[in-house]
Copies of this chain bind each other. A is one copy, B any other.
Amino acid sequence: MAAAGNQGRLAIIAGSGKLPLFLAQASRAAGEDPFVIRLKNEADPIWEGFDNAVIGVGDMSGLSGLFASHDIGRVVMSGAVKKRPSFREISPTWKSLSKVPAVLRTLMAGGDDAVLKMVIELIEAQGCQVIGAHEILPDLLAEVGAFGDILPTSDDLRDIERGAEAAEALGRLDVGQGAISVGGRIVALEGVEGTDAMLKRVAELRAEGRISQRRKGVLVKLCKPQQDMRADLPSIGVSTVKNARAAGLAGIAVEAGRALVIEREVMVAAANEAGLFVMGIDRGLKDKHA
């Protein structure tokens, strides 16, 4: 666990989902005094008891002001950002003005990975260090093997292999992190809609009889090969298990060492109860914990 010490106060930039609150609680337990920067229209309003402020997603100038006034030295980005800022919402600092054309270009045309790399660069240009959630809470990272009581069958292992192949191709294109394989056939790939929406689509296709009723299938989530681990690591939690169950899947596989598991105990209990396996798979990347 990193202590606050002379590295400056920790800021948590909070998008949607459960990860930001979980991270704030866990980092406090680890001796940090986190300051939470809630992204407008993205973060859930659940921040009682935490020092916090709200800013617009494109408000670089406001972000810079918050960093200065709260003596922020380290920044963790967490949670999803569904809507990219539009031209009108970008308020640059004087220092970052020359970067605006490139910023807009990336916001318009870049994949999520390109956008997040840019955000990291902009924050670090303010003198703050951007760190990954796993650097504060290494226990968040998925490890190799099954998390709960259920183990994948040989059919499931084949779906894991096929799903991983598709997710990797998808990641290389900077499109998304998730793929669903049912009986060895890829039935859905994750785009802008996100994992939960993709799982709901598969539940619908299953109800319509367009996906085999006799084969269960697996959701695979992998980190993009070129992805910076400080932003948008693939994550799973209770809602993933719930939606995977509704989609009729046998289980979920995530990349060990490069995926976050939110509220692990609650998630594992839900998976055990639903009869789903959840496991970390080793992709054999050398630099997994970088």
Binding site for B on A (CB under 8 A): 82-84, 86-87, 108-111, 158, 165-166, 169-170, 172-175, 180, 183-189, 191-193, 201, 205, 208-215
Contacts and interface: CB of A to CB of B under 8 A. Distances in A.
Given A210-B83, A210-B192, A211-B192, A175 B184 contact: no
A6 to B, nearest CB: 40
Given A169-B173, A173-B166, A183-B108, A201 B193 contact: yes
A87 B214 CA distance: 9
User: How many of these chains are in the complex?
Assistant: 2
Given A84-B212, A108-B212, A169-B169, A188 B191 contact: yes
A189 B170 contact: yes
Query: Chain A: interface secondary structure?
Result: loop
B205 A192 contact: yes
B192 A189 contact: no
Contacts of A211: 192
Q: What 5 A-B pairs are tightest by C-beta distance, nearest first?
A: A109-B184, A188-B191, A108-B183, A189-B189, A175-B186
Contact of A175 (B83, B183, B189): B189
